[in-house]
Chains A and B, each alone.
Chain A
Amino acid sequence: MFKGMMKAFKMSCKDVYPLISESRDHSLPIFSRMRLKMHLAICGLCEIYQKQLEILCRIARSLGKDESKAFEEISLNPEIKEKLQKWIEEKK
């Protein structure tokens, strides 16, 4: 019986990769969640993949934050800046 249960929970890496990604987007059904958890406990490669996505998404999230320093040196074309400045002065 135990063997049968284990077989039911077993998943291939091929099936696990999309689930790792999906688990970031919605709450997986309980059976899928358990199967994923069991697979990650024994598969180092899938665990690494999960961590890679975590890193990737954290960096992406930081890019959108005000305090991001990734593009500090990039600024708007000076001609456009001047145009915007003129608009502000005209509106005063």
Chain B
Amino acid sequence: MMYRYTLVRVKDPEAAEELVQSAFFAALKSQNSFAGKSSEKTWLFGILKHKTMDYFRSSKKNISIDLTSEEGQIHFDAAGHMVPKPGNWHLDPEKAAENNELARVLAQCLNGLPDKFHRVFVLKEIDGMSSKEICNEFNIKPTNLWVILHRARNQLKLCLESNWFNAK
């Protein structure tokens, strides 16, 4: 379960394995400080969450984002409509999350995002972190955050269409 938690959040399976081991090791080392206020599982996941965040922080200086690049850009026709036009996915948003196969396709699409798009999207949409916290973590302005998220969502939308909705 810890490995699956990490694998959803970091792209590299080896890094996910290392994070799990490191969280486990830290937990065993500090088991005497476990106060029992929460369950052991919650405590362990708390440590893993910190380790994952540290992993994001340690490599954030090495990644940069070029917002003039093509990635996640929307293309428009002469009438100002998105190309390709958004098609109806015939899916109830309430029930969308019940489709495990679709969720796996989205996870694959997530791995195709550039590193910074990936981290920002994971923190915002998977972990539910606030925009303010993410801006502080990555030292970016809110306007840049909104552009990154917009691009990430577009890229994921196109990827889902190619690999799921239009592929079926």
Q: Which residue numbers of A lie inside 8 Å of B, CB to CB?
A: 12-14, 17-18, 21-22, 24-26, 45-46, 48-49, 51-64, 66, 68-72, 74-77, 80, 83-84, 87-88, 91
For the residues of A in contact with B, the DSSP-based class is helix
How far apart are the CA atoms of A91 and B27 in the complex, in Å?
11
Whether, in the assembled complex, B57 has its beta carbon less than 8 Å from a beta carbon of chain A, the answer is: no
Given contacts A14-B80, A48-B88, contact A63 B8 (CB under 8 A): yes
B17 near A55 with CB under 8 A, answer: no
Interface residues of B (CB under 8 A from A): 1-5, 7-9, 17, 20-21, 24-25, 28, 31, 74, 76, 80-82, 85-89, 91, 93-94, 96-97, 99-100, 102-104, 106-107, 110, 121, 124-128, 131, 142, 145-147, 149-150, 153-154, 156-157, 160
Within the complex, the shortest CB–CB distance from A19 to chain B, in Å, comes to 9
Taken together as a complex, chains A and B put the C-alpha atoms of A62 and B110 apart, in Å, by: 14
- CB of A25 within 8 A of CB of B131, answer yes
Residue of B nearest to A90 (CB): B28
Cβ–Cβ contact A71 & B88, under 8 A: no
Say which residue of B82, B96, B128, B145 sits within 8 Å of A17 (CB atoms). Answer: B82
Partner of A88, one of B28, B147, B160: B28
Q: Which of A12, A48, A57, A59 contacts B102 (CB 8 A)?
A: A59
User: Known contacts A55-B91, A60-B125: does B20 contact A80 (CB below 8 Å)?
Assistant: yes
The 7 A-B residue pairs whose C-beta atoms are closest, nearest first, are: A62-B97, A64-B126, A70-B103, A21-B150, A76-B3, A60-B125, A48-B86
Known: A26-B131, A58-B94. 8 other contacts (CB 8 A): A13-B81, A13-B82, A14-B80, A52-B86, A59-B102, A63-B126, A70-B107, A71-B4
- Cβ–Cβ contact A71 & B80, under 8 A: no
Query: B128 to nearest A CB, angstroms?
Result: 7
Bound Cα distance A77, B124 (Å): 29
CA gap between A21 and B142 in the complex, in Å: 13
Q: How far is the CB of B85 from chain A (nearest CB, A)?
A: 6
Across the interface, B17 reaches (CB within 8 A) one of A49, A61, A72, A76, namely A76
Check if A54 sits within 8 Å of B126, measured CB to CB.
no
Q: How far is the CA of A85 from the CA of B125 in the complex (A)?
A: 33
> Cβ of B7 and Cβ of A12 under 8 Å apart?
no
B99 to chain A, nearest CB (A): 8
Q: Out of B9, B74, B146, name the residue touching A26 (CB < 8 Å).
A: B146
Contact of A63 among B25, B28, B74, B106 (CB under 8 A): B106
